[in-house]
């Protein structure tokens, strides 16, 4: 069994895979990572291997402690990957994006795939049917847009995300919801259509924390999978340990 450790800025996702099957998933605060891993180790004593993907800050002492319990792989730009990386600055490519592209080539081989990760930022990552990763785009995510309107203006309130009933906002709150939500939806739809002009057979994956909120409102045909990044990390661990 494999332990997948996806470290964010405030929270950590811990997942257990048996082969390709997700058996368990926990989300905990980063400061409780060692306690969470110990609990899973006791519950699943057959865990032998682990991978860490960290876009947040994880203490070296924590990494060393984890490494004493498992055959540990730390994902970085030097890790063996299941695709050809043609990004011009490969060392700056986020480990989360690496994992998403890895999942796409496993789940959709020989396919032109656009992976859209709707999280803190919205990332777009494209891999060709020839297994070549070309790059993509990064833009502000849903919550970031709400926070930006509040932070960089004097009078606009900070709102929780909400589906607008109408594109015409009849109050300040309605206008903010319309601007943020329809802005993101139109952005995503526009990006998909741009890619489809060049790659008509495009497969589109939507993942990330805002998948559920956005997926029902998109008109384009997509595959929604909130566990896509975890599946990609498990695949990377498999190909690096010959499992």
Boundary-marking domain end, from 39, 74, 109:
74
Q: How many domains does the chain contain in total? A: 2
Q: Which residue has the higher pLDDT, 86 or 221?
A: 86
- Average pLDDT (23-34) is 91
To the nearest whole percent, how much of the chain has pLDDT over 90?
Answer: 88
Strand order of the β-sheet with 132-140 is 84-85, 132-140, 121-127, 113-118, 203-207, 223-224
Q: How confident is the model at residue 219 (pLDDT cuts 50, 70, 90)?
A: confident
Assigned domain for 8 exists: yes
**Ramachandran sector of residue 35 (left: φ over 0; alpha: ψ -120 to 50; beta: rest):** alpha
pLDDT of residue 66: 92
17 among annotated binding-site residues: no
What's the token pair of residue 183? 């802005």
Mean pLDDT of 212-219: 91
Q: Are residues 62 and 93 in the same domain?
A: no
pLDDT of 78 above 70: yes
- Domain for residue 242, yes or no? no
**112 labelled ligand-binding:** no
Asked if residue 104 and residue 56 are part of one domain, the reply reads no
Q: Is 6 annotated as a binding residue?
A: yes
Do 147 and 186 sit in the same domain of this protein? yes
Classify residue 169: in a domain, yes or no: yes
28 DSSP β-pair partners: 12
8 labelled binding-site residue: yes
> Can you tell me the mean pLDDT for 40-56?
90
- 201 a catalytic residue: no
158 lies in the same domain as 178:
yes
CATH number, domain containing residue 48: 3.30.420.40
**Would you say residue 153 lies in a domain?**
yes
- Are residue 105 and residue 220 in the same domain, yes or no? yes
**Residue 243: pLDDT over 60:** no
Tell me, yes or no, whether 172 and 205 share the same domain.
yes
Confidence of residue 22 (pLDDT cuts 50, 70, 90): very high
Tell me, yes or no, whether 176 and 205 share the same domain: yes
- Residues 190, 93 share a domain: yes
Choosing from 20, 62, 76, 96, the catalytic residue is 96
Q: 13 pLDDT exceeds 90?
A: yes
Q: Are residues 33 and 145 in the same domain?
A: no
Three-state DSSP state, 170: coil
Residue numbers of the domain that contains 156: 84-232
Q: Are residues 93 and 70 in the same domain?
A: no
End-to-end, the C-alpha distance of the chain in Å comes to 10
pLDDT value at position 56? 65
pLDDT tens digits, one per residue of 151-206: 999 999 999 999 998 999 999 999 999 999 999 999 999 999 999 999 999 999 99
Supply the pLDDT for residue 60.
Answer: 86
Examine residue 162 and state whether it is found in any structural domain, yes or no: yes
- Pick the last residue of a domain from 74, 100, 120: 74
How confident is the model at residue 193, as a pLDDT? 97
What is the average pLDDT value for the chain, to the nearest integer?
94
Same domain, residue pair 199 and 226:
yes
| Domain match, 69 and 158 both | no
Residue listed under structure tokens 């741009």:
194
Mean pLDDT of 29-54: 92
Residue where one domain finishes, among candidates 74, 96, 117? 74
The full DSSP string for 8-71 is -SSEEEEEEEETTEEEEEEEEEGGGHHHHHHHHHHH-TT--EEEEEESS---HHHHHHHHTTSE
Strand order through the sheet with 71-74: 21-29, 11-18, 2-7, 49-54, 71-74
Whole-angstrom CA distances from 79 to 72, 76, 96, 147 are 12, 6, 13, 35
Asked if residue 115 lies in contact with residue 205, where contact means CB atoms within 8 angstroms, the answer is yes
Residue 135, domain member (yes or no) = yes
């Amino acid at each position: 069994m494999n332990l997948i450790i996806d470290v964010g800025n405030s929270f950590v996702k811990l997942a257990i895979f048996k082969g390709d099957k997700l058996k368990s998933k926990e989300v905990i605060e980063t400061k409780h990572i060692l306690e969470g891993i110990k609990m899973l180790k006791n519950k699943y004593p057959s865990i032998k291997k682990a991978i860490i993907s960290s876009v947040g800050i994880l203490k070296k002492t924590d990494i060393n402690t984890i490494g004493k319990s498992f055959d540990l792989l730390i994902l970085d730009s030097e890790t063996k990957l299941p695709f050809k990386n043609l990004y011009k600055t490969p060392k700056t490519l986020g480990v989360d994006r690496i994992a998403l592209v890895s999942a796409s080539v496993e789940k959709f081989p020989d396919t032109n795939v656009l992976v859209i990760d709707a999280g803190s930022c919205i990332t777009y990552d494209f891999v060709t049917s020839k297994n070549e990763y070309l790059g993509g785009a990064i833009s502000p995510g849903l919550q970031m847009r709400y926070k930006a309107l509040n932070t960089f203006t004097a009078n606009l309130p900070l709102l929780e995300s909400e589906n607008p009933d109408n594109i015409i906002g009849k109050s300040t709150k309605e206008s903010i919801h319309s601007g943020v939500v329809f802005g993101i939806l139109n952005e995503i739809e526009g990006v998909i259509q741009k890619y489809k002009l060049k790659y008509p057979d495009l497969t589109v994956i939507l993942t990330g924390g805002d998948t559920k909120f956005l997926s029902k409102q998109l008109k384009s045909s997509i595959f929604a999978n909130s566990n896509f990044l975890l599946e990609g990390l498990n695949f990377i661990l498999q190909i690096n340990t010959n499992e």
